[in-house]
């Protein structure tokens, strides 16, 4: 994680994006202290800010991908209520899973919901 010289001048999403620049999965789990310092908040509130940041990004990525795959907006929003965005975002903030992988996991869940569980998994097909 690199420290930018004008980090204190940045606010909101831009500050968190700057803090994420060049970050590895292990650094992701330590970002809360940077967020706490940027905003002058407790560690617990920094964890919440960090998690919400990833929820927003994952939601937008998944929404864009679902639209690109032909799902209608109404169906997407209805199905999104059944997905665990908060849980997967918490895994991202802890460095357990990368954000693109989180989007992939949720997209597979979304596809299963949409096709009533009849999604062919290419890995299971290949190995099974």
* Mean model confidence pLDDT for the chain: 80
Backbone φ/ψ region at 44: left (φ over 0), alpha (ψ -120 to 50), beta: alpha
58 contacts: CB under 8 Å, gap ≥ 6? 85, 88, 89, 92, 99, 102, 103, 106
pLDDT classification of 5: cutoffs 50, 70, 90: very low
Residue with tokens 């999604």: 119
The angle, 0 to 180 degrees and rounded to 10, between the axes of the packed helices 99-114 and 43-68 is 50
Instruction: Summarize pLDDT for 20-77 with one digit per residue, the tens.
Output: 766 666 677 678 888 888 888 999 999 999 999 999 999 999 999 999 988 899 989 8
The pLDDT value recorded for residue 124 is 45
pLDDT at position 18, please?
72
For position 4, what pLDDT does the model report? 43
3-class SS at 63?
helix
Q: Which of 15-19, 95-99, 122-126 has the lowest mean pLDDT?
A: 122-126
């Amino acid at each position: 994680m690199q420290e930018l010289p004008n980090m204190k001048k940045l606010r909101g999403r831009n500050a968190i994006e700057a803090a994420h620049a060049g970050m590895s999965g292990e650094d992701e789990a330590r970002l809360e202290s940077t967020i706490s310092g940027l905003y002058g908040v407790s560690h617990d509130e920094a964890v919440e800010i960090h998690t919400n940041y990833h929820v927003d990004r994952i939601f937008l990525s998944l929404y864009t991908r679902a639209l690109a795959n032909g799902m209608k907006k109404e169906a997407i929003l209805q199905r999104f209520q059944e997905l665990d965005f908060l849980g997967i975002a918490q895994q991202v903030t802890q460095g357990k899973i990368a954000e693109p992988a989180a989007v992939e996991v949720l997209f597979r869940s979304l596809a299963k919901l949409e096709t009533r569980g009849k999604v062919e998994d290419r890995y299971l097909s290949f190995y099974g």
